[in-house]
Amino acid sequence: MVGPILIFDSGIGGLSVFEHIHSRLPNHDIYYLFDNARLPYGDLEEQELIRGCVALIVNQVEKIKASVVVVACNSASTLVLPELRNQLSIPVVGVVPAIKPAAQISKTRHIGLLATPGTVTRQYTQDLINSFAGDCEVTLIGSSELVLIAETKAKKQDINLDQIAQILSPINDSNIDTLVLGCTHFPLLQQEIKRALTHPVQLLDSGDAIATRVMSLIKDNDIAKGKLKAGFTKGIDEGLKMTLADYGFTQLECITVAN
Ligand code: DGL
């Protein structure tokens, strides 16, 4: 029996990645782990982010005997992958903002990166831009507000579309034709983002590429549908429980890690 895939994020963003993985590996058990006690990650100090993520993930991998870890969070992937790989003997898959495919398709040679304040300022992101989008103008927009709007939507509460339009105004005021959603929360706001944009812009995320990578590491089981379970670090409200159930997560647990 192969252990579950552990998908990790600070909040509900990793569900956008889960959808891609689950549609390709429907018979595989998946454990969705999110660190809502420390959200948003985009504002956390780097060492604090690394320490907390590594302790939480390693502890849960051992507990559930996971076979693969997917760090479905750009803000964490830009920092924690080396230490996680150091401590774990199973494959660890990270997320990379889709800068390379964006640069390949942009006609105006002006692309946008919408991510968290942490991701847009990291060297990791700058290196990606230098390597793959050197001939493009790249506009960086870092927003934790948008992360919190996605969380509000996931709680089935009303969100403010004007606030989204305001965050996206640098894109509307430019000739950007391709926008990288470099935070896994943002594909969950895809429709609202499209509505707020005033000219045609292609949106790109990394969900499908991650699912392809995971599939190269494990085969689907040929038994009945995979079991889904979610764990989080702080109690959640009814709206979020309903959203998790919409994705198939009805088995839920609140977990704590001793420091
Ligand atoms: N979903 C995460 C990402 O991809 C992080 C959101 C946050 O906690 O700031 O960056």
Q: What is the mean pLDDT of the chain?
A: 95
| Residues 172 and 145: beta-carbon distance below 8 Å | no
Q: Is 73 designated active site?
A: yes
Confidence of residue 1 (pLDDT cuts 50, 70, 90): low
Q: Tokens at residue 15, please?
A: 């569900």
With a cut of 80, say whether residue 259 has pLDDT above it: no
Element (H, E) at 204: strand 202-204
Q: Is 254 designated active site?
A: no
With a cut of 60, say whether residue 252 has pLDDT above it: yes
CA of 2 to the centre of ligand 1 (A): 29
Task: Give percent of the chain with pLDDT exceeding 70.
Answer: 97
pLDDT of 87 reads 97
Pocket of ligand 1 (CB under 6 A): 9-11, 13, 39-42, 73-75, 116, 119, 144, 147, 183-185
Q: What is the set of domains in the chain, with CATH numbers?
A: 5-95+207-254 (3.40.50.1860), 99-204 (3.40.50.1860)
pLDDT of 226 reads 87
CA of 186 to the centre of ligand 1 (A): 9
pLDDT of 225 reads 80
- Please list, residue by residue across 224-242, b when 16 or more beta carbons sit within 10 angstroms of its beta carbon and e when fewer do: eebebbbbbbeebeeebbe
With a cut of 80, say whether residue 130 has pLDDT above it: yes
Which amino acid is it at 26? P
The DSSP result for 172-193, as a single string, is: HTS---EEEE-STTGGGGHHHH
Biggest alpha carbon distance in the chain? 53
Ligand 1 atom, smallest distance to 76 CA: 10
CA of 36 to the centre of ligand 1 (A): 11
Ligand 1 atom, smallest distance to 183 CA: 4
Distance CA 123, CA 177 (A): 24
pLDDT digits (tens, 9 = 90+) for 39-98: 999 889 999 999 999 999 999 999 999 999 999 999 999 899 999 999 999 999 999 999
HSE-CB for 31 with a 13 A CA cutoff? 22
Mutate which of 183, 186, 233 for ligand 1 pocket (most atoms within 8 A of beta carbon): 183
Q: Which residue has the tokens 């001793």?
A: 258
- Please list, residue by residue across 134-173, b when 16 or more beta carbons sit within 10 angstroms of its beta carbon and e when fewer do: eebebbbbbbbbbbbbbbebbbeeeeeeebbbebbeebee
